[in-house]
Amino acid sequence: MFEDSLLKSIHTPLPLDRSVGIGCVGAGFIMADCHLVAYRRHGLNPVAITSRTRTNAEAAANRHGIAKVYDTVEQLVADPNVKVLDVAVPPDCEADIIRRALAAPNSLRGILAQKPLGSNYSEAAAIVKMCDDAGVVLSVNQNMRFDHSVRACKYLLDSGKLGDPVLATIDMRAIPHWMPWQERQGWVTLRIMSIHHLDTFRYWLGNPDRIFASVTPDPRTSQKFDHQDGIALYILEYDSGVRASAWDDVWAGPAREGAADDIGIRWRVEGTRGMARGTIGWPGYPERTPSTLDYTTIDDSGGWHQPRWDEAWFPDAFIGPMADLLCSLESGTVPQGNGQDNLHTMALVDAAYLSAQQHIAVSPSDIVNQCFDRE
C-alpha cells in the first residue's frame, strides 16, 4: 500500500557496518543531547571525543560510553580508530577545526560538519575545497531535511501524489534558546533557524532563482545583544512559476513576558493534484512531540490521510545526516547532504542577507559569482 511505503520513507537507511569509529568534536547540547543519543540508539560507534573544555568532553563521554577523551582535535584524529569526524562547534570555529584535523596525521574518510557550514558562503566554499583536496568526503548536518514529516512530504512530491508543486510555505512561531557564541556573530535567525527552512525548500523544490527577504530585530533578543535578523520573512521565486515563502518569527509575541503563547512550526505544500500540511515538533522540546503530516489528493473524495509515527525531530532525525554519510562511504556514492550541495543553501542564506540589506530580490548565483570574483 502507498501509505506503508510513505511510512518507510521517513526513515533514513542505516549502514550495514555500524562499527565505523566516529570521533566527536564538541560536547555541547547538539552533540551530547542529539547526535550521541541518536547514534547510540541506532548502534553507531562513537569512539573518541574532544572539546574546548575537557570536563565537558569527559561528562559527555561518561554519559554515552565513549572510551577516549582527547585534549585536541589533532590527538583525536591521530587515533587510528577514528575514521569519521563529527564536528559540532560554532560556525566561526568550524573552518579552523577542519583545517587542523586535515593537516594532522589521520585516517579520516569522512567529516560531518554542523550547519551553518562556516560563517558565510566564502568560508563554506573554502571548507569544501579543503576536504576535496584531502580526499575526505564532507557532509553537512542539515538535519531538518531528515525530519520525518519533511521526508514524508518529499516522498509525496517525488511520487507525483501532489502533482506539480505550486506553493510551499513554512510558518515558524518559536522562541529559540540562542547560544552565547551568537552574540559575537552579529546575526541570528537567517543563518541559524531560517537555514533549515531554506534547505527544506531546496530539498522539496530544488534551487530557487531568487529570494526577496525582509528582516527586523526581535525585541526580546535585542535586550541581550545587537542583531538585525531577528524576525525574518522571505519569498523564493522559481522561474518555473513555483513560489515558496516563510515567516520565521522568533519573537512570537510576549509569551515570555506574561502573555499566553502560540508556539509551533507549521508547513504546507500545495500542488495541482493534492495538498500536504504538517507540523514540526521541535518547539516543544524537551517534551517529546513528533512531527505530523496530513495530505489529500483529488483522488481521495475530499478526505485527509493522517499517517502518524513516534519519532520526533529532536533527537531522532539526527541519525539521518551521519547515517547518510556512513552509507555513502560504504557504497562509494555521494551523500545526500554533501558539502557541494550545501553550498547552494549557504549561497541562498547569504542572498537573503543581501536582499534584506538592499531591499531587492537577489539571485544565489550572485553570491557565488562575488566569491569567485574575490579570488
CA dihedral 65, 99, 108, 347 (to 10 degrees): 90
How many Å apart are CA 162 and CA 155, to the nearest integer?
Answer: 10
For residue 179, the model assigns a pLDDT of 85
Domain that holds residue 188: 144-317
Number of structural domains (the chain) is 2
Regarding whether 274 and 207 lie in a shared domain, the answer is: yes
Q: What type of residue sits at position 206?
A: G
Which residues neighbour 122 within 8 Å (Cβ) at sequence distance 6 or greater? 371, 374
Q: Does the pLDDT at position 244 exceed 70? A: yes
pLDDT of residue 186: 81
Q: Which residue has the cell 552565547?
A: 180
Looking at residue 75, its pLDDT comes to 98
Q: Is residue 353 part of a domain?
A: no
Please state the rounded mean pLDDT for residues 82-103.
Answer: 97
Q: Average pLDDT for residues 83-104, to the nearest whole number?
A: 97
Same domain, 149 and 139: no
CB burial of residue 17 (10 Å; 0-12, 13-18, 19+) = exposed
Q: Please indicate, yes or no, whether residues 178 and 37 belong to a single structural domain of this protein.
A: no
Write down the pLDDT at residue 285: 87
pLDDT of residue 375: 56
**Grid cell digits, residue 286:** 524537551
CB environment 291-304: b (16+ within 10 A), e (fewer): bbbbbbbeeeeeee
Sign of CA dihedral 81, 134, 196, 222: positive
372 found inside a domain: no
In a shared domain, residues 177 and 304: yes
Output the pLDDT for position 1. Answer: 79
Grid coordinates of 128: 569544501
**Residue 362 resides in a domain:** no
Q: Looking at residue 1, what DSSP letter applies?
A: -
- Half-sphere exposure at residue 162, Cβ-oriented, CA atoms within 13 angstroms: 24
pTM for this one?
0.96
102 close to 134: Cβ distance less than 8 angstroms: yes
- Say if 211 falls within a structural domain: yes
Same domain, residue pair 121 and 223: no
Report the DSSP beta bridge partners of residue 269.
168, 276
* Residue 364 is assigned to a structural domain of this protein: no
Residues 121 and 158 in one domain: no
CATH of the domain at 279: 3.30.360.10
Q: Are residues 74 and 221 in the same domain?
A: no
Return d(Cα 190, Cα 213) in angstroms, integer: 10
Q: How far apart are CA 25 and CA 27, in angstroms?
A: 7
pLDDT for 232: 98
pLDDT digit string, tens, across residues 172-196: 999 998 888 888 888 899 999 999 9
Instruction: Let me know whether 149 and 128 are in one domain.
Output: no
What is the pLDDT at residue 372? 64
Asked whether residue 246 falls in the same domain as residue 132, the answer is no
Give domain status of residue 322, yes or no. Answer: no
Which among 288, 317, 346 is the end of a domain? 317
pLDDT at 46 over 90: yes
Q: Does residue 346 lie in a domain region?
A: no
pLDDT of residue 3: 86
> In which band, very low, low, confident or very high, does the pLDDT at 374 lie, cut at 50, 70 and 90?
low
Whose cell is 531568487? That residue is 210
Taking the C-alpha atoms of residue 137 and residue 83, their distance in angstroms, rounded to an integer, is 11
pLDDT at residue 226 greater than cutoff 80: yes
The string of DSSP letters for 33-46 reads IIIHHHHHHTT-EE
Instruction: Convert the pLDDT of each residue in 289-304 to its tens digit.
Output: 999 999 999 988 779 9
* Residue 228 and residue 174 share a domain: yes
Same domain, 72 and 47: yes
Q: What is the Cα–Cα distance from 258 to 255, expressed in whole angstroms?
A: 6
Are residues 92 and 123 both part of a single domain?
A: yes
Task: Cell numbers for 29, please give them.
Answer: 547540547
